[in-house]
Amino acid sequence: MSLGGLLAKLAGGGVPTIEHDDFARVVADKSAAIVDVREPHEFAAGHVPGAINLPLSSFAPSQLPNGRPVVLICQAGRRSAKALKQALEAGVKDIRHYASGASGWQSGGGATE
């Protein structure tokens, strides 16, 4: 196993994730669609700037934006991981999730709207 493969395994079995600094860059330069899979009332209470809301309770990978990378986010990483699994199983490419979630984003100084 390569070092990269080992690190991916240690970081969650190869689940496509994005780290805080990279996520902050993506939010700032709008280089990816940010999809928040929390419920509408959670989203309304504060979300990453520019994010769209596709709640996990009614999530369908076919609803994801096309033509650009997608980053999924929820409150703490569990729901976005579930949505990521569904998307990958449906054949969606260029998608990952921010495992730290909205709570990690805010505790790291990230703005919300």
**Structural domain containing residue 46:** 15-107
Identify the active-site residue in 34, 71, 73, 74. Answer: 74
Q: Over the stretch 22-58, which tens digit does the pLDDT of each residue have?
A: 999 999 999 999 999 999 999 999 999 999 999 999 9
Domain CATH for 19: 3.40.250.10
pLDDT at residue 13, as a whole number? 53
Look up the pTM and report it.
0.87
In a domain, 55, yes or no: yes
Active site residue 95: no
Q: Which amino acid would we find at residue 72?
A: L
Average pLDDT, rounded, for the chain: 89
Number of domain units in the chain:
1
Please give the full DSSP string across 55-76, using - where no structure is assigned.
-GGG--GGGS--SS-EEEE-SS
Place of tokens 């600094």: 21
Q: Over the stretch 69-82, which tens digit does the pLDDT of each residue have?
A: 999 999 999 999 99
Name which of 5-19, 22-36, 77-91 the model is least confident about: 5-19
pLDDT at residue 63, as a whole number? 97
- Look up residue 39 and give its two tokens: 């419920």
In a domain, 3, yes or no: no
pLDDT at position 10 over 60: no
Beta-carbon contacts of residue 40 (< 8 Å; ≥ 6 apart): 53, 55
Burial 80-109 (b: 16+ CB within 10 A, else e): bbbbbebbeeeeeeebbbbbbbbebbeeee
